[in-house]
A = this chain, B = another copy of it.
Amino acid sequence: MAGREFFTVQSVSQALAGFRPARRTGVEKVPREAALGRVPASPVLSSSALPGFARSTVDGYAVRAADTYGASDSLPAYLDQAGAVRMGSVPPAADTAVRPGTAVQIPTGAAVPTDADAVVMIEYTQVTMPGLIEVTRPVAVGEGVVRADEDVAVGAEIAPAGRPLRAQDLGMLAAVGVTHVPVCARPRVAIVSTGDEVVPPETARLDPGQVRDATASALAAMVTEAGGEPSPRGIVADDAEALAKTLRAAVEECDMVVVSAGSSVGARDETAAAVESLGAPGIYCHGLAIKPGKPTLLAECDGVPVIGLPGNPLSALVVFRMVGLPVLRSVAGITVTPPEPATTATLTRAVASAAGRLDVVQVQVDNGPERTATPLFGFSALLSLLTSADGYVVIPEAATGLDAGSTVTVTLYR
């Protein structure tokens, strides 16, 4: 009975490398203000140069550099002040012409008159009599000036395809005047719970033997965090017919389907049978060499990835993080995975693991003088292990456990 369900146990890395559902979401245009975290469908190119004009980087005087050569404290260069540039405008050329032997006052960020080729900082100047500027240090051509296309050239890529937009990317889009961005549509992810014992979280009083659905709420949050749009489908009783009907609708309406099976072997078998009936090519693997999470099911039904999760919430959430999120990112068009918080720490206790199996161990991190990670042990259905954990340690397939005192990498929850 126990062996029956695991007819194609695969390693997690094999499964992730081999399971490549065809599904990709379409492209939609979103306004820049709503584009944080959205995924550009193609590289975003700039149609204008930035800053767009030669710009002063200092408060001082726009000059011809040659006029300052050899200037020093003891032998300053003397230049006639020929006007002043104001912020945000280019005054009539006659007012700010920088002819040989003249200087034009200019604030940081203002447009350098076209006939000047450098800006000397005000610190290296003195006004000894009105209209006459003493320059006490030479400037090279280009000094104190940002070129018109030094920040961004016309046609330059300002955001790559496939990388979720960050705060500074939105700043750059604003700087070059992009108001809308073509991005991959958010994948709709159906979340289905099964199990005769499972009742909605809103249920005020439980009968003995009933449990509230914890998995669906946590999955919805993880989907949202990863850039998807959760589509909650409620709880289906352990009934092959009802489950198949719910899953069929989910596959038709969504870009990805996640179903948490009931806890018992029978419930898991029914889930597998229902998934198998959905469409080609069907089940890719049933059983992953991961702990917790062995009874995981991966399937592709008419291009839509379907992931069957173990019945208990902790296992379900661990597997969804390790296996479901990479699939979700692929459907979402994300090719540059955002980095996750992680830290190195010293393991306080040994952890056993079987070779050929990926173990995911929940840990608490103590940021004392030496940073330590303490494994949380317990029956894998205890959700409190996950809520009291600061992060997790992955024991790779090749290892047979970790000794106390090992240095480990902890991926941190945020």
* Interface positions of A (Cβ within 8 A of B): 1-2, 32-33, 36, 50-53, 55, 57, 59, 85-90, 107-111, 122-123, 146, 150-152, 158-159, 164, 166-179, 195-199, 201-204, 206-222, 224-225, 238, 262-267, 311-313, 317, 338-343, 379, 381-384, 386-387, 389, 391, 412-414
Could you list 22 A-B pairs, sorted by A, with CB under 8 Å?
A33-B220, A51-B211, A52-B208, A53-B209, A88-B207, A89-B196, A108-B265, A109-B195, A109-B197, A110-B209, A111-B209, A150-B379, A151-B384, A167-B221, A167-B222, A167-B225, A168-B413, A171-B383, A175-B201, A175-B313, A179-B201, A339-B343
Contact partner of A386 (CB less than 8 A), chosen from B53, B171, B222, B262, is B171
8 additional contacts, CB 8 Å, given A177-B203, A338-B414? Answer: A2-B122, A50-B383, A57-B381, A89-B196, A89-B197, A109-B311, A152-B383, A167-B317
Contact B177 A52 (CB under 8 A): no
Which chain B residue shows the least CB distance to A179?
B202
* Highest count of chain B CB atoms <10 Å: which of A32, A89, A171: A171
- Closest Cβ of chain B: how far from A88's Cβ, in Å? 3
Copies of the polypeptide in the assembly: 2
Contact partner of A212 (CB less than 8 A), chosen from B55, B159, B175, is B175
Q: How far is the CA of A179 from the CA of B202 in the complex (A)?
A: 6
Contact partner of A177 (CB less than 8 A), chosen from B53, B207, B212, B266, is B212
Identify the 10 closest CB pairs spanning chains A and B, nearest first: A171-B218, A109-B263, A88-B197, A107-B264, A174-B201, A339-B341, A175-B214, A167-B221, A111-B209, A174-B217
- Closest Cβ of chain B: how far from A308's Cβ, in Å? 16
Contact A90 B208 (CB under 8 A): yes
Q: How far is the CA of A214 from the CA of B171 in the complex (A)?
A: 4
Q: How far is the CA of A198 from the CA of B90 in the complex (A)?
A: 14
User: A199 contacts which chain B residues (CB < 8 A)?
Assistant: 88
Contact partner of A210 (CB less than 8 A), chosen from B32, B88, B202, B262, is B88
